[in-house]
Amino acid sequence: MDVPDRIERTKQTTELTPRPAAAATNPANPADLTAPLTGAAPLTGAAPLTGAAPLTAAPPLTGAAPVLAATLGLAGGCWVIAAWLMDGMDMGVATRPGSFWFFAAAWAAMMAAMMLPGAAPAVARHARVSGRLRAAPLFAGSYLAVWALAGIAVYVLDRPHGPVAAGAVVAAAGAYELTPVKRYFRRRCREDAGSGLGYGLCCVGSSVGLMAVLTALGVMSLLWMAVITVLAGAQKLLPARSAVDVPLALALVGLGLAVALAPAQAPPPMM
């Protein structure tokens, strides 16, 4: 076989030999989709984001114990301050408030001492719901601000009075305990008012009768301060019960009559 025939035979053999098919890419195969792209130039020129401060969440409020402890501790300290300011000032129904600035300081200490113990659960609840500890002093401060404004009204309306006028105020306070207005404000005072101002307004409406008893019998009396603190705190924390509320109201009416008609026989100090 000559050379041309050999070349022609080789060419025919090559054409008849099947060539391997190119591997088809299956777009449904995840391996094909995730295969790295070769030959593509890397992206350059994109500078990383710098200078942005990391976002940090506020630390959650883990419990009400710190708020309760701080609130009750403040109340205890204010009892000491009130006792120091009021030393020697108690003259029963004849007690005079003194100068405005002295009365303002004494009243602020008195209200913090008397009203914070009963309001401590509400302060802790507000801080827990908001999730921030700093919400507690704002709530308590605005709550006490309402009582401070009530003190201005007390100072303006106060007049020298005797046992008869004091007894009438106490008896009227006892009657107020049985009114629908008292029941409404007491219920609202036990609920979450949403803000210290709203809570303070509701609690003033609930305790206005008891505070009238204090101002009538001796606004500078530690004894009556303690009595009103217990009563006001119990009404903030406990639900209304006729078996307790009605006897309390009748006792106040009876005390008012005793102060007016027989001040020497009424609980001291009346004169």
Q: Got the DSSP string for 121-138?
A: HHHHHHHHHHT-TTHHHH
* pLDDT for residue 43: 44
- The residue ranges of every structural domain in the chain are 65-265
State the DSSP string of 147-200. HHHHHHHHHHH-----HHHHHHHHHHHHHHTTSHHHHHHHHHHHS--SSHHHHH
Within 13 Å, how many C-alpha atoms sit on residue 164's CB side? 0
Please state the three-class secondary structure of 248-261 as a single string.
HHHHHHHHHHHHHH
User: Which residue matches tokens 């041309």?
Assistant: 4
| Number of helical (H) and strand (E) elements in the chain, helices listed first | 10, 0
Kind and range of the H or E element at 97? none
94 CB-near residues (< 8 Å, 6+ apart): 160, 162, 271
pTM: 0.71
3-state helix, strand and coil shares in percent for the chain, rounded to the nearest 5: 70, 0, 30
Alpha-carbon distance of 73 to 79, in angstroms, equals 10
pLDDT of residue 56: 42
State both tokens at 99. 């100068």
For the chain, what's the residue count? Answer: 271
H or E element at residue 37? none
* CA 74 – CA 137 distance, rounded (Å): 11
Provide the pLDDT for residue 224.
93
> Using CB atoms within 10 A of its CB, is residue 38 exposed (0-12), middle (13-18) or buried (19+)?
exposed
Q: Which residues of the chain, if any, have pLDDT below 50? A: 3, 16, 20-62, 271
> Cβ distance 214 to 225 under 8 Å?
yes
E strand intervals along the chain = none
Distance of alpha carbon 17 from alpha carbon 145, whole angstroms: 101
Which among 177, 170, 160 is positioned nearest to 234, based on CA atoms? 177
